[in-house]
Structure 1
Amino acid sequence: PTRQEAWNLTKGVLGVTVSMALFLGLLDYLFALALQGIIGGSAIAIGIVGVVAVASVVAIMILNRRTA
C-alpha cells in the first residue's frame, strides 16, 4: 500500500480500538453497578438484570433461527 493508504488504515484501526475500549469500559461499569445492586438487594437492579437476561436469550434464539 502507499503511504497514504497505510495512514488511512492506521487511523481506522485506531478509531475502532478506541471505540471498542470505550464500549467495553461502559459495559464493565454497567455490569459493576448491576452486580453491586444485586449484592445489595436492590429490586431495581435485580429487575434490570432479569430484563437484560431475558432479552439476551430472545436475541440469541432469533439469531440462531435466522442462521439455521
Structure 2
Amino acid sequence: MKVEVDQEGCVGSGQCALTAPDVFDQRDEDAIVELLDETPPREQWQATRNAAAGCPAAAITVRDDEGS
C-alpha cells in the first residue's frame, strides 16, 4: 500500500487523523493533513482506507500496489 495526500486540497477536517492516527496528523498552524507513513504496515491498511473514504475533500489517495 502507498498513500499520498493533497495538502492543497485538504480542508482540515481532521477525520483522517482521528481514523488513522499512526498514518495521518495535522499541522498545528492550519490543521492541514500531514502524512506520517506513506507505506503503512498491513495492520494499518483498513484504518487508512477508511480515512481516505471519509475525507470530505478526497485529499487522500491509497494505492494497493501488487505485492504490498
| TM-score scaled by length of structure 1 | 0.30
| TM-score (normalised: structure 2) | 0.30
| Higher relative contact order structure (alpha carbons within 8 Å, sequence separation ≥ 6) | 2
**Structure having the higher Rg:** 1
